[in-house]
Structure 1
């Protein structure tokens, strides 16, 4: 009996000492790792922002190669997520979600661990000299009293994984196939958000697709929208749903983005523009001279492991009514893309 009492006293003393030590530990934990990658910010950003690209570089995927993953319908931008389920105790189950995305600059994310609560983190993409990128991968979590001890080991465990992930991301980004665009083609990879718009869609021969074709349709849209033309969200644009080389025909949707709540009619339809990753080109000059840029964009998509994710569109930034000099007309051309299935499989 006396021996048991001594044992209980020792246990109580040890437990008390453990609690005192725990009380000295921080209730929050912050960690970050940084790497400089020899690739432009939009290249590195796209690898991180596109969740289906993570298997190429994330160290977490090799912890349990039999783990099951599910992805949101849209795998880029704010709200994109993936879930994982593993029988490996080092992984368990959980969910990763992009909560804030600033294209080519920052991603804020949350991670929810089944039975363990959640945490948050961030990615920063900072351009540095020689077209390189300083990438910072950060993580923040909070502990209850008896979980504080995990903070003692967190840096060694998680820090090593972050370092491995950044090394892999560096290798993937720096070895991505590239093709230089022509000097006149200002091409970049970026993100766009969806906008509500009103559009008129027609099939038209290339020969009839001149200034009168567009002027009539933009005029009809402006007349229908009336005062709501004051609430436009972008320059007028045209979506090219079909471009038929053989028959020299096109299916074109002439459109204006606006916050109007009008219902549309038989000719004028409401829609929402594409949201996600795009390859963007900027053309300076007359509208009928955009062919070279379209070709450069098409080649860029193919040579950088992308595939088309929707219909391309042209945004007519300069108003010909106020700028008669065609050499000063600015046209932005967007090709919606996603990483090619072939590249992902590799």
Structure 2
């Protein structure tokens, strides 16, 4: 579920239903220290150098990375509305420069939660050229699906442990 908003922007989005309340899921996203347990990007590069700054979680929390496979960049939470929405400024510096926005929205669905992970930003000349050879939606979308599936397993295991 994605595609270009117009010729100058892109958007990639994936959702998953998680059998846990939003309050149990939100801390795994709102704290970059917790991303190692579910984010596929963390697992991509075993020698990833990470630097955290700002508060431990929530607005102003920041995370910079540098690695051989993962390139380098920085994320900062610019909005944190517990337990509904997190907006992240995402800046890549290597292998290419890009400035995007990532958003996580958590919507109640019965006893569970629908979690949506989206990324959008400007479609630069380079990304348009690369788009001739591969689909940003398929490339990043698969990573989002993997990450959401890991987040689901993590949140549901913790929810089961609490209710047991």
Counterpart Cα distance in 2 of 1:112 and 1:146: 15
Number of residue pairs the alignment of both structures matches: 153
Q: 1:100 Cα shift?
A: 0.6
Matched position secondary structure for 1:178? helix
- Give the structure 2 partner of residue 150 of structure 1: 130
1:178 aligns with 2:159: no
Q: What is the CA deviation profile of residues 260-292 of structure 1, one whole-angstrom value per residue up to 9, with x for unaligned ones?
A: xxxxxxxxxxxxxxxxxxxxxxxxxxxxxxxxx
Q: 1:146 Cα shift?
A: 4.1
Shift in alpha-carbon separation, 1:28–1:73, aligned structure 2, 3 A: closer
Equivalent of residue 71 in structure 2, options 77, 92, 103 = 92
8 Å CA contact 1:27, 1:145 repeated in 2:
no
Which structure ranks higher in relative contact order (CA pairs < 8 Å, sequence separation ≥ 6)? 2
Q: What is the CA deviation profile of residues 34-88 of structure 1, one whole-angstrom value per residue up to 9, with x for unaligned ones?
A: 0000000011111111111100000001111111111124221101011101022
- Give the structure 2 partner of residue 59 of structure 1: 40
- Give the structure 1 partner of residue 101 of structure 2: 120
TM-score, with length taken from structure 1: 0.42
TM-score, with length taken from structure 2: 0.87
Structure 1: gaps of 5 or more residues: 1-24, 181-346
Q: 1:27 Cα shift?
A: 1.9
Structure 2: gaps of 5 or more residues: 1-5
Describe how 1:1-346 pairs up with structure 2 within 5 A.
Answer: 26-88=7-69, 91-114=70-93, 115-129=96-110, 131-151=111-131, 152-176=134-158, 177-179=161-163
- Give the structure 2 partner of residue 321 of structure 1: none
8 Å CA contact 2:54, 2:60 repeated in 1:
no
Q: What is the CA deviation profile of residues 119-172 of structure 1, one whole-angstrom value per residue up to 9, with x for unaligned ones?
A: 11211000111x100000000021233431334521111000000000000000
Counterpart Cα distance in 2 of 1:100 and 1:140: 16
Counterpart Cα distance in 2 of 1:169 and 1:80: 20
Q: What is the CA deviation profile of residues 187-228 of structure 1, one whole-angstrom value per residue up to 9, with x for unaligned ones?
A: xxxxxxxxxxxxxxxxxxxxxxxxxxxxxxxxxxxxxxxxxx
Shift in alpha-carbon separation, 1:150–1:28, aligned structure 2, 3 A: farther
Counterpart Cα distance in 1 of 2:145 and 2:126: 28
